[in-house]
Amino acid sequence: MTDQNSAQKPVVKTGGSLSGSFRDQFRSASLWDHLASPARIWRSKISWRITITVFLTILTVQAVVLVVTASDFKTQKLHEMRQLARVFVISSLGDSDNQLTAPLTQEAADRLFSETMISGISIYGLDYNLIQVYGETVVLRPSASTDATLQQLSASNRFYEVVLRSHEIRRPYHIAVKLYTAGIAPQINQHIQQSILIIMLLSGFVTSVLMLVLGQWLLEPVMVLRNNLLSAAQNPEKPDVRRPRRETRDEIGMALRIANDLIRQNAHNLRKLRSQAEDKIHKLAYYDNLTGLPNRTFFLEKLDDNIRHRVAEEERRLAVFAIDLDHFKDINDTMGHEFGDKLLEAIGKRLVKALPAGSLISRASADEFTAMVVLKEEHSDTATLVDQIFNAMAEPVSILHERFQVRVSIGVAHSPDDGMEARQILKNADIALNRAKEEGRDTVRYYSEDFDLAVQQRFQMLRDLRMALEENQLRLHFHPQFDLRSGQLIGAEALLRWWCPDNSKEGGRFISPADFIPVAEQSGLIVPIGEWVLKTACKINKQWQDKGLPPFRMAVNISGVQFHRADIVALTAQALKESGLDPKWLELEVTESVFMENMQVAIDILNQLHQLGVELAVDDFGTGYSSLSYLRQFPIDRLKIDQSFIRNALINNDDRMIAKTIITLGHSLNLKVIAEGVETVEHEEFLKAEGCDEVQGFKYTKPLPQDQMREYVINHNRTMAQNTTLKVIEDKNA
């Protein structure tokens, strides 16, 4: 099918540089035909210009020719008059003897005047003397000086005078004749009118023929070319390219063909470019650059599709897996981003391999993958698929000559069981994943409505916690720390308590920091809370000192979020300044996780804190992921053995070994070692035997409110003093 035959209307974009009126005209396909029709060609500007130019040119040439021929015509007519006059005159001259004196009789002259156009005659002898005169006076007269044919037109053009020489009339005299020219003018006029008519007809005819030829061979192809170019400008990707009704192989035909080819080629290239760009945009919008897997947007669309068709219509069951790499951030930070990228790529490939064909695997965020499997009979057990994923991760991944063991946490949600809305299902899988991560990682959790409830509760808790901060519902309790050998109270850890008022008969209840600190950390609320804790702890410690209590160290927990997101150095300096507490009576407890985020930044911050004069302890030591080599680089004063090792030291050999190793390691690095979670005498004895420096635990007391703590310190010091006195007396007695 040729372009011309194509039924497709030219698609006109609203943009473009062409005038609106033309665009409107161009919208109609039938108008196109009109544009290239002969009528249109004749009405075209170029056509008019050529027509008028050709017509006027022919007219001008003909007019010049007419002027020339009209003059010739007049000359010829005058000549004919002269010849006629000669004939009349000769026939009127008699052959009498008195020819020389009276060649013409009055009678003959009168006849001439009445019957011919002759109105006057003067006859001269050969000596040029006047012999006879009849009728009107003839001004022209022969002379010897000129032999030429004498003739002249009167100024008014009414008379024409000629001299007939003797040899012309074959008589021995010359005759001057005056002739009326009245008969010539109409003839000349008629001649001119006829000529003009012919000229007009000829010009019209020539112009018409020329225009027909030009129209077909030049104007129509040019019009078609113009329309094709307009169409290409309007709609470059799908121009309505047409051919003239008769194609020629001349220069114009060739030019049109080349132009049409170029327009089509351009349209083809543009379409190709657009489709490539669309492909690229589609890829960018729907695929992950790194792994080449679909992204979250694509996944959600497909999930929605599958829920509507496979689940709703075909009544199939569908499982969605949210898969998260455990500790990917740590891996990325310690091994570098190149390594992290390669790891993600490898994991993506493994997941694709692990799940059955037809599954959709996507990379949803940095280290989270999602998978969707429409369950068939043989895969109806989602647990089998989960096993396949875990098995795929079992083999260490080899990257940059390193073998790396990857662990993942998985959350699973089903449709229709857990919802019929794509976002809901994915959210539920994420909730299950979070549960898996909270409950130790490297595990799977299947979504249950209770999880949802837990999430709701968290949101509620966050709202309440915000209010708690504003309404002073936060308190500090203090957990004493002792020198293990002397039993001296050497410090206290400030522990946050949230007194949440309710309708119970107690008027409220304490919420454990273990419950609300993670929520505060996730929401960033830990920053203002931590600020309050630090300032309050410093203030209380200084108050105790001012009231005469022997000074001791106040340990304050600093969350990783607070350490990296807030200016902890400035805050500490401010808390010390505001309270007036000597920095040596303040200790900050940080967990190993703060070293993992950004080692260099952590070293800088710790150094600055140390320069303030405060002490630094590593809390929950032994539970973190970090290597021991970092210890040397940090300005730390104290290792705090996690209570889980102490609790299990007497029943679990591994934990006992870990506790022992931490004490030895701490001492080898010149650090003090404090054990928390000391609940029994056996714990204390074990730690004494291993040379641990300091202790904290329920064996001595539970964490105490401010007033009770003060009393506790006073009582403890009193007891210590009594014991010392008793010992001195005993020693003396001994």
Phi/psi-derived region of residue 619, left when phi > 0, alpha when psi is between -120 and 50, beta in every other case = beta
Map tokens 């928390």 to a residue: 676
From the list ligand C2E, Mg ion, none, partner contacted by residue 367 (C-beta under 5 to 8 A by kind): none
Report, in Å, the least distance between residue 451 CB and ligand C2E. Answer: 23
From the list Mg ion, ligand C2E, none, partner contacted by residue 514 (C-beta under 5 to 8 A by kind): ligand C2E
Report, in Å, the least distance between residue 527 CB and Mg ion. Answer: 18
User: Of 418 and 620, which has the nearer Cβ to ligand C2E?
Assistant: 620
How far apart (Å, rounded) are the C-alpha atoms in residues 394 and 87? 140
Report, in Å, the least distance between residue 479 CB and Mg ion. Answer: 9
User: Of 149 and 512, which has the nearer Cβ to ligand C2E?
Assistant: 512
How far apart (Å, rounded) are the C-alpha atoms in residues 644 and 623? 9
Half-sphere exposure of 641 toward its Cβ, with a 13 Å CA cutoff?
A: 36
Query: Which residues, listed in sequence order, are joined to residue 318 by a DSSP beta bridge?
Result: 374, 415
Report, in Å, the least distance between residue 489 CB and ligand C2E. Answer: 15
From the list ligand C2E, Mg ion, none, partner contacted by residue 679 (C-beta under 5 to 8 A by kind): ligand C2E
Q: What does the block give as tokens for 135?
A: 């009728």
The answer to whether residues 385 and 321 touch, using CB atoms and an 8 Å cutoff, is yes
From the list ligand C2E, Mg ion, none, partner contacted by residue 155 (C-beta under 5 to 8 A by kind): none
Report, in Å, the least distance between residue 653 CB and Mg ion. Answer: 22
Question: What are the CA-CA distances from residue 97 to residues 35, 92, 94, 102, 719 (Å)?
Answer: 91, 15, 9, 9, 199
From the list Mg ion, ligand C2E, none, partner contacted by residue 480 (C-beta under 5 to 8 A by kind): none
418, 619, 655, 694: residue in contact with Mg ion (rule CB under 5 A): 619
Report, in Å, the least distance between residue 481 CB and Mg ion. Answer: 10
- 620 contacts Mg ion (rule: CB under 5 A): yes
The answer to whether residues 337 and 445 touch, using CB atoms and an 8 Å cutoff, is no
- 228 contacts Mg ion (rule: CB under 5 A): no
Q: Beta 586-591 vs 553-557: how paired, if at all?
A: parallel
Report, in Å, the least distance between residue 367 CB and ligand C2E. Answer: 25
User: Of 495 and 618, which has the nearer Cβ to ligand C2E?
Assistant: 495
Report, in Å, the least distance between residue 520 CB and ligand C2E. Answer: 8
From the list ligand C2E, Mg ion, none, partner contacted by residue 47 (C-beta under 5 to 8 A by kind): none
Q: What does the block give as tokens for 316?
A: 């199939």
How far apart (Å, rounded) are the C-alpha atoms in residues 687 and 681? 10
User: Of 444 and 558, which has the nearer Cβ to ligand C2E?
Assistant: 558
Q: What does the block give as tokens for 71?
A: 């003059």
How far apart (Å, rounded) are the C-alpha atoms in residues 450 and 454? 6
Buried b (16+ CB within 10 A) or exposed e, 649-669: beeeeebbebbbebbebbeee
Map tokens 């003797």 to a residue: 166
User: Of 425 and 659, which has the nearer Cβ to ligand C2E?
Assistant: 659
From the list ligand C2E, Mg ion, none, partner contacted by residue 479 (C-beta under 5 to 8 A by kind): ligand C2E
Map tokens 């679990």 to a residue: 652
From the list Mg ion, ligand C2E, none, partner contacted by residue 698 (C-beta under 5 to 8 A by kind): ligand C2E
Report, in Å, the least distance between residue 416 CB and ligand C2E. Answer: 41
Contacting residues toward ligand C2E, per CB under 6 A:
479, 495-496, 512-514, 517, 530, 533, 557, 559, 589, 619-620, 643, 676-679, 696-698, 703
User: Of 240 and 620, which has the nearer Cβ to ligand C2E?
Assistant: 620
How far apart (Å, rounded) are the C-alpha atoms in residues 603 and 631? 10
User: Of 221 and 530, which has the nearer Cβ to ligand C2E?
Assistant: 530
Report, in Å, the least distance between residue 617 CB and Mg ion. Answer: 8
Q: What does the block give as tokens for 132?
A: 């006879």
**Stretch of 191-199, 264-272, 518-526, 620-628 lying at the interface with Mg ion (CB under 5 A):** 620-628
User: Of 371 and 674, which has the nearer Cβ to ligand C2E?
Assistant: 674
Report, in Å, the least distance between residue 604 CB and ligand C2E. Answer: 21
Map tokens 């650090």 to a residue: 671
From the list ligand C2E, Mg ion, none, partner contacted by residue 677 (C-beta under 5 to 8 A by kind): ligand C2E
116, 122, 557, 696: residue in contact with Mg ion (rule CB under 5 A): 557
How far apart (Å, rounded) are the C-alpha atoms in residues 552 and 550? 7
| In 90-149, beta strands by DSSP E | 118-125, 130-135
- SS3 category, 264: helix
589, 655, 684, 690: residue in contact with Mg ion (rule CB under 5 A): 589
User: Of 307 and 527, which has the nearer Cβ to ligand C2E?
Assistant: 527
Report, in Å, the least distance between residue 511 CB and ligand C2E. Answer: 10
- 240 contacts Mg ion (rule: CB under 5 A): no
The answer to whether residues 623 and 647 touch, using CB atoms and an 8 Å cutoff, is no
The amino acid sitting at 145 is S
From the list Mg ion, ligand C2E, none, partner contacted by residue 288 (C-beta under 5 to 8 A by kind): none
Q: What secondary structure, in 3-state letters, does 402-416 show?
A: EEECCCEEEEEEEEC
User: Of 161 and 619, which has the nearer Cβ to Mg ion?
Assistant: 619
How far apart (Å, rounded) are the C-alpha atoms in residues 294 and 40? 56
How far apart (Å, rounded) are the C-alpha atoms in residues 99 and 84? 22
Footprint on this chain of Mg ion (rule: CB under 5 A)? 557, 589, 619-620
